[in-house]
Amino acid sequence: MAGMKGLRLVIFGPPGSGKGTQSKLISELYGIPHISTGDIFRDEIARGSRLGRLAEEYISKGLLVPDEVVVEMVRERLLREDCKPGFILDGFPRTLRQAEELDRILEELGWRLDAVINLVVDEEEVVRRITLRRVCSVCGAIYHLEFNPPKRPGVCDRCGGKLYQREDDTEEVVRKRLEVYRTQTEPILRYYREKGLVRDVDGNPSIEEVFEQVKAVLEEVRSGGDG
Ligand code: AP5
Ligand code: MG
């Protein structure tokens, strides 16, 4: 359709709410890059880079990596050519400072966010999801031993890579991550609500049902509606 807008999105929600899962589906359907700060850090950790070593100190404890580090990393990523048609940011921003810095970066590029998709999920449900999550060590595909199991145990359906459990998916670290989410991250929803950007989506049903809702929201956003 002529005059359709690009899609510059943030996906928001607590740990285990399905941000990565939905982002991958959105990225495939609309052909926009999925930018997950957590995935970038995990790649850096796997490569043993300096950034990886620094990030791991925080991630392993369920704490946030310092704002300056994350903001610069995202800035460099957004400057890349593939972000021109749009992007979906997953796991960023996570503090008010990061949200403000993101606005500054977008302004520099002459862009604005189109929507913040907020996945609303009950706390017992996110704990259930995180504790049985498995991730592909090669392509990053996300599985759940009960809700979205791989066809062969321990092996990625898409690329044959080996599946692993994230180091920060232990019960103790998950509790810390949820507390950090409530105290440092959830408050920035207000910042985006004031801008009229937030689209709440019920994240409790199945992956497919959540995606149906997300698509409906994005079609509205693309055609310029404000809900
Ligand atoms: P990050 O990797 O972003 O982790 P998170 O925010 O805690 O979120 P998760 O990746 O755990 O969950 P998700 O919402 O992506 O859920 P998923 O789709 O996998 O960050 C990790 C760490 O990095 C942070 O703690 C911090 O230290 C650091 N960091 C990252 N960004 C930072 C930043 N901006 N600033 C500072 N530090 C930063 O789904 C979860 C499970 O549920 C899967 O098993 C999946 O298969 C399953 N599932 C998904 N949807 C459904 C559904 N609808 N029904 C049933 N099961 C489902
Ligand atoms: Mg994720």
Predicted confidence at residue 2, as pLDDT, reads 45
The answer for residues whose C-beta is within 8 angstroms of residue 110's C-beta and 6 or more apart is none
The answer for residues whose C-beta is within 8 angstroms of residue 193's C-beta and 6 or more apart is none
Q: What is the average pLDDT across 92-103?
A: 98
State percent of the chain over pLDDT 70.
Answer: 96
Q: Which atom of ligand 1 is nearest to the CA of 22?
A: 18
Q: How confident is the model at residue 88 (pLDDT cuts 50, 70, 90)?
A: very high
- The Cβ of residue 89 has, within 10 Å, a number of other Cβ atoms equal to 25
**Among 11, 96, 133, 202, which is best to mutate for testing ligand 1, by the most ligand atoms less than 8 A from CB?**
133
Checking if the pLDDT of 142 tops 60, the result is: yes
Q: What is the average pLDDT across 181-193?
A: 97
How far, in Å, CA of 134 to CA of 144, rounded? 6
Q: Is 177 a catalytic residue?
A: yes
Q: How confident is the model at residue 6 (pLDDT cuts 50, 70, 90)?
A: confident
First-to-last C-alpha distance (Å) of the chain: 19
Of the listed ligands, the closest to the CA of 177 is: 1
Residue in 8, 42, 129, 133 annotated catalytic:
133
Predicted confidence at residue 5, as pLDDT, reads 65
Predicted confidence at residue 224, as pLDDT, reads 81
Q: How confident is the model at residue 1 (pLDDT cuts 50, 70, 90)?
A: very low
Of the listed ligands, the closest to the CA of 146 is: 1
Q: What is the average pLDDT across 160-187?
A: 96
**What is the Cβ-side half-sphere exposure of residue 133, based on CA atoms within 13 angstroms?**
26
Q: What is the average pLDDT across 106-128?
A: 96
Tokens 């990886």 map to which residue? Answer: 52
Beta bridge partners of 36: 90
Q: Are 26 and 9 in contact (CB under 8 A)?
A: yes
Model pTM above 0.95? yes
Q: What is the average pLDDT across 167-175?
A: 94
How far, in Å, CA of 143 to CA of 152, rounded? 12
Give the residue among 32, 30, 11, 42 at the shortest CA–CA distance from 133. 42
- Give the Cα-Cα-Cα angle 204, 210, 212 (nearest 5 degrees): 155
Predicted confidence at residue 17, as pLDDT, reads 98
Q: 34: Cβ below 6 Å to ligand 1? A: no
